[in-house]
A = this chain, B = another copy of it.
Amino acid sequence: MSSPTSHRYLGKSRKAVDGLEKVTGRARYAGDVTLPGMLHGKLALSLYAHARIVRIDTTAARAVPGVVTVLTAADLPTRGRQPSSRQTTTLADGVARYRGEPVALVLATSLAAAEDGLAALQIDYEPLPGPTTVEAALAPDAPVIWPQGAPQADADLTAAHAAVARGEEQGEHAASNIHEQKRFSRGDALAALATADVVVEGTYRTAIVHQGYLEPHAVVADVDPIRRQITVYTSTQGQFGVRDEVARLLGLRPHQVTVVPMTVGGGFGAKYGILDPLAAAAALAVGRPVRITLDRSEDFLTTTPSPACTITLKLGANRDGALTALVADIVVDNGIYPFTLGGIMSALLGGYYRCPNVQIDVTEVLTHKPQAGAYRAPGAPQVTFALESAIDELAYRLNIDPLELRLRNAATTGDPMGNNDPWPSIGLTKVLEAAANHPLWRERSPGSGIGLAIGGWPCGMSPAAAVCRVDTDGVVRVHVGSVDISGVNSSFVLVAAEIIGVPPEQVEIVTGDTRSGPFAGPSGGSQITYSVAGAVAAAAREARRQLLEIAADMLEARIDDLDIREGMVHIRGVPGRTLPLGEVARRAQEQAGGPGPIVGEGRTAPAENAPGFVAHLVQVEVDRDTGRVKPVRYVAIQDVGFPLNPLMVEGQIHGGAAQGVGWGLYEALRYDERGELLTASLMDYTLPRAADVPPFESVLVQNPAPNGPFGARGVGEPPITAGAAAIANAIRDATGARIYELPMRDEVVWRALQEQ
Query: Does B601 lie within 8 Å of A605, measured CB to CB?
Result: no
Contact of A463 among B24, B589, B603 (CB under 8 A): B589
> Is A119 part of the binding interface, using a Cβ–Cβ cutoff of 8 Å?
no
Cα–Cα, bound, A519→B582 (Å): 14
Cα–Cα, bound, A6→B654 (Å): 64
- Shortest C-beta distance, A269 to chain B (Å), equals 20
> Is A646 part of the binding interface, using a Cβ–Cβ cutoff of 8 Å?
no
Query: Does B604 lie within 8 Å of A592, measured CB to CB?
Result: no
Chain B residues, CB < 8 A from A26: 224, 226-227
Chain B residues, CB < 8 A from A591: 463, 605
> Is A140 part of the binding interface, using a Cβ–Cβ cutoff of 8 Å?
no
> Is A595 part of the binding interface, using a Cβ–Cβ cutoff of 8 Å?
yes
Query: Does B515 lie within 8 Å of A597, measured CB to CB?
Result: no
Contact of A590 among B21, B34, B462 (CB under 8 A): B462
Contacting residues of chain A (491-531) with chain B, CB-CB under 8 angstroms: 508, 510, 512, 515-519
Cα–Cα, bound, A226→B244 (Å): 37
Contact of A469 among B227, B519, B594 (CB under 8 A): B519
Chain B residues, CB < 8 A from A518: 469, 597, 599
> Is A607 part of the binding interface, using a Cβ–Cβ cutoff of 8 Å?
yes
Interface size on A, residues (CB 8 A): 57
> Is A467 part of the binding interface, using a Cβ–Cβ cutoff of 8 Å?
yes
Contact with B along A210-254 (1 / 0, CB 8 A): 000000000000001011000000000000000010010000011
> Is A593 part of the binding interface, using a Cβ–Cβ cutoff of 8 Å?
yes
Given A34-B36, A472-B254, are A463 and B590 also a contact pair (CB < 8 Å)? yes
Given A519-B589, A589-B519, A592-B607, are A465 and B36 also a contact pair (CB < 8 Å)? no
Query: Does A596 lie within 8 Å of B465, measured CB to CB?
Result: yes
> Is A588 part of the binding interface, using a Cβ–Cβ cutoff of 8 Å?
yes
A24: nearest chain-B partner, CB-CB:
B226
Contact with B along A448-469 (1 / 0, CB 8 A): 0000000000000111110101
Cα–Cα, bound, A517→B468 (Å): 11
Stretch at the interface among A52-60, A79-87, A473-481: A473-481
> Is A1 part of the binding interface, using a Cβ–Cβ cutoff of 8 Å?
no
Overall SS of chain A's interface: loop
Cα–Cα, bound, A605→B475 (Å): 21
Contacting residues of chain A (562-600) with chain B, CB-CB under 8 angstroms: 588-597, 599-600
A585: nearest chain-B partner, CB-CB:
B519
> Is A32 part of the binding interface, using a Cβ–Cβ cutoff of 8 Å?
yes
Query: Does B226 lie within 8 Å of A471, measured CB to CB?
Result: no
> Is A255 part of the binding interface, using a Cβ–Cβ cutoff of 8 Å?
yes
> Is A266 part of the binding interface, using a Cβ–Cβ cutoff of 8 Å?
no
Contact of A20 among B227, B594, B608 (CB under 8 A): B227
Given A224-B26, A254-B471, are A596 and B592 also a contact pair (CB < 8 Å)? no
Query: Does A512 lie within 8 Å of B508, measured CB to CB?
Result: no
Residue in A512, A535, A589 whose Cβ sees the most chain B Cβ within 10 Å: A589
> Is A606 part of the binding interface, using a Cβ–Cβ cutoff of 8 Å?
yes
Query: Does B253 lie within 8 Å of A463, measured CB to CB?
Result: no
Chain B residues, CB < 8 A from A469: 465, 518-519
Chain B residues, CB < 8 A from A471: 254-255
Cα–Cα, bound, A516→B517 (Å): 8
Chain B residues, CB < 8 A from A32: 36
Cα–Cα, bound, A588→B24 (Å): 40
A707: nearest chain-B partner, CB-CB:
B593
Chain B residues, CB < 8 A from A596: 463-465, 535, 603-605
Chain B residues, CB < 8 A from A255: 471, 473, 475, 477, 508
Contacting residues of chain A (31-60) with chain B, CB-CB under 8 angstroms: 32, 34-36
A481: nearest chain-B partner, CB-CB:
B597
A252: nearest chain-B partner, CB-CB:
B473
Query: Does A464 lie within 8 Å of B597, measured CB to CB?
Result: yes
- Shortest C-beta distance, A223 to chain B (Å), equals 10
Chain B residues, CB < 8 A from A34: 34-36
A34: nearest chain-B partner, CB-CB:
B36
Contact with B along A13-25 (1 / 0, CB 8 A): 0000000110010
A476: nearest chain-B partner, CB-CB:
B255
Query: Does B594 lie within 8 Å of A605, measured CB to CB?
Result: yes
Query: Does B472 lie within 8 Å of A244, measured CB to CB?
Result: yes
Chain B residues, CB < 8 A from A24: 226
Chain B residues, CB < 8 A from A224: 21, 26
- Shortest C-beta distance, A708 to chain B (Å), equals 14
Cα–Cα, bound, A601→B515 (Å): 16
Chain B residues, CB < 8 A from A512: 516
Chain B residues, CB < 8 A from A477: 255, 515
Chain B residues, CB < 8 A from A508: 255, 515
Query: Does B227 lie within 8 Å of A597, measured CB to CB?
Result: no
Cα–Cα, bound, A666→B479 (Å): 50
Chain B residues, CB < 8 A from A600: 601
Chain B residues, CB < 8 A from A516: 479, 510, 512, 516-517
Chain B residues, CB < 8 A from A589: 463, 519
Cα–Cα, bound, A247→B510 (Å): 19
Given A36-B34, A254-B471, are A597 and B465 also a contact pair (CB < 8 Å)? yes
Query: Does A463 lie within 8 Å of B594, measured CB to CB?
Result: yes
Contact of A592 among B247, B254, B597, B606 (CB under 8 A): B606
Contact of A599 among B510, B588, B597, B601 (CB under 8 A): B601
- Shortest C-beta distance, A111 to chain B (Å), equals 14
A467: nearest chain-B partner, CB-CB:
B467
Chain B residues, CB < 8 A from A462: 590, 592
Cα–Cα, bound, A599→B535 (Å): 12
Chain B residues, CB < 8 A from A601: 467, 599-601
- Shortest C-beta distance, A466 to chain B (Å), equals 9
Contact with B along A362-378 (1 / 0, CB 8 A): 00000000000000000
A33: nearest chain-B partner, CB-CB:
B36
Query: Does B463 lie within 8 Å of A588, measured CB to CB?
Result: yes
- Shortest C-beta distance, A496 to chain B (Å), equals 14
Contacting residues of chain A (600-655) with chain B, CB-CB under 8 angstroms: 600-601, 603-608
**Top 5 A-B pairs, shortest CB-CB distance:** A593-B607, A596-B603, A519-B597, A255-B475, A601-B601
Interface, chain A (partner B; CB < 8 A): 20-21, 24, 26, 32, 34-36, 224, 226-227, 244, 247, 253-255, 461-465, 467, 469, 471-473, 475, 477, 479, 508, 510, 512, 515-519, 535, 588-597, 599-601, 603-608
- Apart from A247-B473, A465-B596, what 19 extra A-B contacts exist at CB < 8 Å? A20-B227, A34-B34, A254-B471, A254-B473, A463-B591, A463-B592, A463-B597, A464-B597, A465-B599, A467-B599, A467-B601, A510-B516, A535-B596, A591-B605, A594-B605, A595-B603, A596-B604, A599-B601, A601-B601
20 A-B interface contacts by CB (under 8 A): A32-B36, A254-B471, A255-B473, A463-B588, A463-B594, A463-B595, A463-B597, A464-B597, A465-B597, A467-B601, A469-B518, A479-B516, A512-B516, A518-B599, A519-B589, A519-B599, A593-B607, A596-B604, A597-B603, A601-B601
